[in-house]
């Protein structure tokens, strides 16, 4: 198949695209490349630099399926410029979906977010709970989901609500919890934990990218799916890091006591099975740092990079 991946040179895209190529697909990788391009060359890969807000720039010709990753990522970046966030993360999604339906593309996979639920008191957050997003970032995700579901009669629509992703990528991120704490531990020998009792869902980057490939191969699996397989506390992450690195753990009071526990039973019932865990991500980051394959680079922090180089 010919697959269009938006946001293809980002954190997840840089891991996903090589997997799609290895599976024998032809890939069109579309991205602004604000954070660079780390995709290796491949005869079945076409990299196109462009902006999802400009529909005419997107190469739809011959595309069989779209994996839509492009977004202004995370709450702080979403709040930097709300107009930009809505244009990129919601309006562009609507335009892409509408155009895809009009030209006969039959398969659309969308990367939403587990944060669309907002703050929940329920011990298990399942897909049937109401969405109560609280930031610009997750409001755009909720709106995009609803737009895409309205096209379900015209194409296969698969929506994934991932937990916080962790692990190594050629286009690394060190502003997500597990990756950030791991870098602090190996670089500084100590980590600061705010509170620690908060439970947050996580998913390894290999599992979330494997999931997109699984959905591509299983178009009968339609609708909305949570994707988070480890509801682990910040204190538990710190304990793993202390054991793995010998880092000192400093605990201070938190002004954000919220816990999120995502239930992914619906996804597991489809036959998808995760293969990795948070500790795997930590091990891989430590190994990459020791092998001089990973540096604490400003480019790996979305907010800092966008403030300095994009906006």
CB count within 10 Å of CB 133 equals 17
pTM exceeding 0.85: yes
Fold for the domain defined by 2-310: Rossmann fold (3.40.50)
Rounded to an integer, the average pLDDT of 192-203 is 89
pLDDT tens digits for 47-95?
999 999 999 999 999 999 999 999 999 999 999 999 999 999 999 999 9
* Low-confidence winner among 27-36, 248-257, 271-280 (lowest mean pLDDT): 248-257
pLDDT tens digits for 146-182?
999 999 999 999 999 999 999 999 999 999 999 999 9
pLDDT tens digits for 220-262?
999 999 999 999 999 999 999 999 999 999 999 877 666 778 9
Domain positions in the chain are: 2-310
Which residues, 6+ apart, have CB-to-CB distance to 208 below 8 Å?
A: 12, 160, 162, 165, 227
pLDDT at 257: 65
pLDDT at 258: 67
pLDDT tens digits for 101-143?
999 999 999 999 999 999 888 889 999 999 999 999 999 999 9
The mean pLDDT of the chain is 96
């Amino acid at each position: 198949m010919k697959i269009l991946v938006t946001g293809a040179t980002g954190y997840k895209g840089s891991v996903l695209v090589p997997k799609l190529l290895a599976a024998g697909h032809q890939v069109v990788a579309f991205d602004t490349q604000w954070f660079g391009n780390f995709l290796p060359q491949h005869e079945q890969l076409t990299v196109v630099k462009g902006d999802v807000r400009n529909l005419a720039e997107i190469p739809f010709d011959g595309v069989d399926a779209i994996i839509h990753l492009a977004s202004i990522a995370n709450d702080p970046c979403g709040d930097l410029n709300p107009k930009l966030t809505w244009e990129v993360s919601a309006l562009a999604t609507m335009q892409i979906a509408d155009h895809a339906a009009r030209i006969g593309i039959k398969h659309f996979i969308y990367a939403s977010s587990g944060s669309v639920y907002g703050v929940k008191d329920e011990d298990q957050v399942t897909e049937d709970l109401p969405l109560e997003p609280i930031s610009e970032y997750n409001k755009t995700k909720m709106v995009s989901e609803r737009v895409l579901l309205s096209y379900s009669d015209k194409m296969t629509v698969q929506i994934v609500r991932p937990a916080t992703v962790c692990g190594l990528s050629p286009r690394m991120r060190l502003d997500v919890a597990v990756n950030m704490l791991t870098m602090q531990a190996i670089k500084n020998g100590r980590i600061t934990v705010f509170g620690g009792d908060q439970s947050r869902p996580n998913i390894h980057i290999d599992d979330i990218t494997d999931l997109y490939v699984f959905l591509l191969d299983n178009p009968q699996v339609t609708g909305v799916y949570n994707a988070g397989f480890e509801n682990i506390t910040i204190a538990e992450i710190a304990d793993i890091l202390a054991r793995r690195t010998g880092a000192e753990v400093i605990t201070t009071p938190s002004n954000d006591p919220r816990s999120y526990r995502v239930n992914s039973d619906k996804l597991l019932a489809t036959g998808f099975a995760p293969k990795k865990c948070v500790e795997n991500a930590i091990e891989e980051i430590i190994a990459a740092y020791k092998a001089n394959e990973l540096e604490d680079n400003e480019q790996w922090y979305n907010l800092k990079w966008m403030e300095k180089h994009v906006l």
